[in-house]
Amino acid sequence: MRALVTGGGGFLGGAIVRLLCDRGDSVRSFSRQSYPSLESLGVEQVRGDLVDPTAVRAAAAGCDVVFHVAARAGIWGPWAEYHRANVAGTDHVISACRANGIRRLVFTSSPSVIFDGVDQNGANESEPYPGRFLAHYPHTKALAEQAVLAANGPELATVALRPHLIWGPGDPHLIPRLIGQARAGRLKRIGRESKLVDTVYVDNAAVGHVHAADRLAPGAPVAGKAYFLSQGEPEPLWDFVDRLLAAAGLPPITRSVSARVAYATGAAWEGLYRLFRLRREPPMTRFVARQLSTAHWFDLTAARRDFGYVPAVSTDEGLKRVAHWLQGQPPREAATR
């Protein structure tokens, strides 16, 4: 098939692109810049922005399926920027599919779209969207997910996938941030209890996307639904963080702060940053405080049943691969990338 991957140069998008290329599919990437790694794979690269509907429509021309992975991520920034990229951008992708007669759309969502600030133990897809959100990212991703699922119909089959805490070799977000905070002596456990949390190795998340696309068609069981993707191996959050740090040759975290203090601190930082209109990310936010002090792990029954999702790379194996990756690059790069 011929696939368009928005954000094909990103962490998850790149993994999806590689998987598609490995099995012989024709791949086009739509991103704001070009990537040498994609060029080496023979991937056609189209430069553009999700906020430009004409560019999105042109990029999707001639494709059979769209993997909409690109998004405005992070936990801080103006509402308008998140809405423009995540909500309006997704609307442009849906319109491009319809204009080009594309029959399949796979949307990368997030479990945070149903996060209401309390423990989620074995949550499944019946969980409702919360009444309020603690950050613009989950709010706009929830609006985008709802638009994608509402677009499902006889002419366009859609599915939304919710991978949780994606990590692995080449991770430009979670792992470098943890290592940088640990080396600077700023990393603390949030909460006195380490709650169970699900994560997902990047290759497992990519396989889930491709398998869902393969099963997707108008009227198919997967059409019009959302699914969680994870390792299926929930473990105490801070144990997992310590294992990631060990892969980088760093000691475990020894300091901690209560969940209540972290939440209050996050609220104070948010107030200050809004008052002075600071664009950089605060040291703590209410959303992060809640995420790091509550349980969130998910029931994979639906993904296993409807498109045969199996996380083939175990957490132990994934951590071995991360350790190998980290040992193969200068420590400074790992900490600041």
Residue type, 249: G
Please say if 129 is a catalytic residue.
Answer: no
* Cβ 36 vs Cβ 97: under 8 Å: no
Written as six digits, the tokens of 280 are 């950089």
- Containing 329, the helix (H) or strand (E) segment is none
What letter does residue 8 receive in the DSSP assignment? T
- Backbone φ and ψ of 280, nearest 5°: -70, 160
Residue among 292, 117, 114 nearest 197 (CA)? 292
Cβ neighbours, 10 Å, residue 283: 12
Q: Which of 98, 102, 73 is nearest to 177 (CA)?
A: 73
Residues forming beta bridges with residue 159, ordered by sequence position: 106, 225
Catalytic residue, chosen from 35, 82, 137, 227, is 137
Nearest to 16 by CA among 225, 213, 223: 213
CA 322/CA 337 separation, integer angstroms:
15
Task: Give the Å distances, CA to CA, from 229 to 31, 48, 202, 304, 308.
Answer: 24, 29, 10, 10, 12
- Residue 65 φ/ψ, nearest 5 degrees: -150, 145
How many Å from the N-terminal Cα to the C-terminal Cα in the chain? 34
Longest dimension (CA), the chain: 56
- Per the document, the length of the chain is 337
Nearest to 42 by CA among 63, 61, 21: 21
Q: What is the DSSP letter of 138?
A: H
Tell me if 74 sits within 8 A of 112, measured CB to CB: no
Beta bridge partners of 135: none
Q: Which residues are catalytic?
A: 137
